[in-house]
Structure 1
Amino acid sequence: MEKTKSKIHYAWWILVGLCLMVGLGKGALNNTAGLFITPVAKDLGVGIGNLTLYLSISAIVTLVFLPIGGKLMAKYDTKTLLVFAIVLQAGAFAAFGFMKAVWGWYVFSIPLAIGGVFITVIAGPVLINQWFKKSNGLALGIMGAAGGAIGAIAQPVVGNLIAGRGWSQTYIIVGVAVMIIVIPVILLLIRKSPKDKGLLPYGAAVASIDGVPAEDTNDKGISFAIARKSGAFYSLAVFFFLITAIASFSIHIPTFLANKGYSVGFSGTVMGVSMIGVLVGALVLGVLSDKLGSKNTSVLAMLLGVVAIAMFLFFAENGVLVTIAAGIFGFTTASIGTLAPTLASTLFGSKDYSQIYATASLGLAVASIIALPAYGFVYDFSGTYTIVLWIIAAMFVINILAILFAFKSKKNLVEQGHWN
């Protein structure tokens, strides 16, 4: 274990690899999908709705495959799985470039989603939980911020490629480029656990969980069989569902602003501030979860969310306050990538983390399918987002209650001797 005393712990190289892998999987593949919709639909002669059906198929496949992916991560070699996953995700993305009919998007959305389950959802939190016993929240925050930064770079690059080379070549260029970059990163940097390098997790000698030294709690916690029957697990799933449903409102913010009489240019500025809020939130919430604990930080983030919604509701005519509200809202939605994984780790430990996190993450997939159209239907029916905003405020409050109940349930499980 002498290696643990080296200047740079290998956990930080794991984080570098994850930043590149997750960042490119999200930022260069998933988050650029919207740039292709209009040119592809126009060239294929299909409606936007018909084309974007592939996104719904992808979401459903994600929903079905998440618990399976968690089991595979726990059982099989991580590097092999992740190489296979990036080939599926980026390869399917590149395959879109060869398609001449909309059914191609429907078919290749399946491997796109299966690969994405590992690359963009499970791998980051699972590996960070394995490698970091100290600064776990900071590591998650850095990974989230890096993904946002890579996405910010990828958007204009991909947009210019589509304008210059067309959507078909751009799909192929981006998909192949991501594989060329990510596969060597996985092979050279990624390791499943510190044991593979003869190391303790970063900070194992000094970090602790509920007063127990982390070196004694590595690979310990509450089993999946016990966890999935507990109130803590269902509360965590509720948190995942609601914070994702809340974050989905970001896509409706420009329409909300237009409804209030603001220009498209102003909406663009507000959305830029919101994205800055997400980047800052990923880092700050990560650091705070290390300092204050995931429970206190999560409650604080939800309270800030209520403040943001109150500003949208009562100060919508003030452009400055609306802009600040969007920044705060973005800050709180960073909870998806930082607080959700740290809550899972704090509540259930490392023993069956990949299965527990992946199964609880079903809430993320379900919310993404339901919330976006639901907000749109409410707006179409009422002509305003007022009802939606009150619902979102209620979601923040419910999340606070869910967090408090989850930790009470965890305490009962520990007292019953299920933490081992």
Structure 2
Amino acid sequence: MFLSPYLGKWLAKKNTRLIHTICVVGLATSYASFALAQNITHFYISAIFMGAFSCGAVALPVSIVITNWFAKKRGLAISIALAGSGFGGAIISPTMADIIQNYGWRTSYLVFAAAMLIICLPMMFLIKKSPETMGLKAYGADEVAETAQKTAVPKFELNMTLGEVKKTMVSSGSIYLACFAFAL
């Protein structure tokens, strides 16, 4: 939760593929490290790294890529993409349960980490960050541009630094509500 604003900024502006690769490898390594844990402290340390890397390996890259590729029906596209996590969970949970029953929980973490690397790493080389890299336009970009010209809605731009946003959120109490919502 705390790294999301920074990772989002880096993923949007920097080399997305490199940062995504580091996060996927870090996430897989974090899962594999659970298999080596000897006490609860190791689990907590692994979980901290897992949380840090999962932000840049899962939700943020998906949202950034879909935002770049869809100007029209963006909400539907993000909904479909994020619904895949539920579908994946429906497949992974029984599979991991079988591995735990037959081979043990340590092996299941190693299998999950290996599957993550085998599935996720090749996918990021197939996905392009934006349609412009292929000489294309985002889905519905022309229609959205025409609609914006017709309606002539004044553009609103908020020029605040991350520090100013934090101060505003802390003073208004919104940060506490946001943290509570993320914790749920």
TM-score in same-fold range (> 0.5): yes
- TM-score, normalised on structure 1? 0.38
Q: Cα gap change, 1:229/1:153 in structure 2, threshold over 3 Å: closer, same or farther?
A: same
Residue identity (%): 26
The aligned residue for residue 94 of structure 2 is 156
The amino acid of 1:94's aligned partner reads A
For 1:122, which of 60, 78, 81 is the aligned residue? 60
Deviation, structure 1 residue 200: 1.2
Matched, 1:198 2:135: yes
In the aligned structure 1, how far is the partner of 2:114 from the partner of 2:43? 17
Q: Cα gap change, 1:75/1:366 in structure 2, threshold over 3 Å: closer, same or farther?
A: farther
For 1:367, which of 168, 181, 184 is the aligned residue? 181
Q: Cα gap change, 1:227/1:66 in structure 2, threshold over 3 Å: closer, same or farther?
A: closer
In the aligned structure 2, how far is the partner of 1:85 from the partner of 1:67? 15
Matched, 1:144 2:82: yes
Deviation, structure 1 residue 221: 6.7
RMSD value over aligned CA atoms? 2.9
Deviation, structure 1 residue 223: 4.9
**Contact 2:12–2:64 (8 Å) recurs in 1:** no
In the aligned structure 2, how far is the partner of 1:221 from the partner of 1:85? 34
Offset from partner CA, 1:382-404 (integer Å, 9 cap, x none): xxxxxxxxxxxxxxxxxxxxxxx
- Superposed, 1:383-402 pairs within 5 Å as none
Could you list the runs of 4 or more consecutive aligned residues of structure 1 that deviate by over 6 angstroms after TM superposition?
226-230
Offset from partner CA, 1:184-236 (integer Å, 9 cap, x none): 000122x2222211211111112359x315xxxxxx97355279868xx96xx
Gaps of 5+ in 1: 1-62, 214-219, 243-362, 372-420
**Contact 1:77–1:192 (8 Å) recurs in 2:** no
- Superposed, 1:158-177 pairs within 5 Å as 158-177=96-115
Question: Which one has the largest radius of gyration?
Answer: 1
The amino acid of 2:142's aligned partner reads A
The amino acid of 1:178's aligned partner reads M
In the aligned structure 2, how far is the partner of 1:145 from the partner of 1:65? 23
The amino acid of 2:74's aligned partner reads N
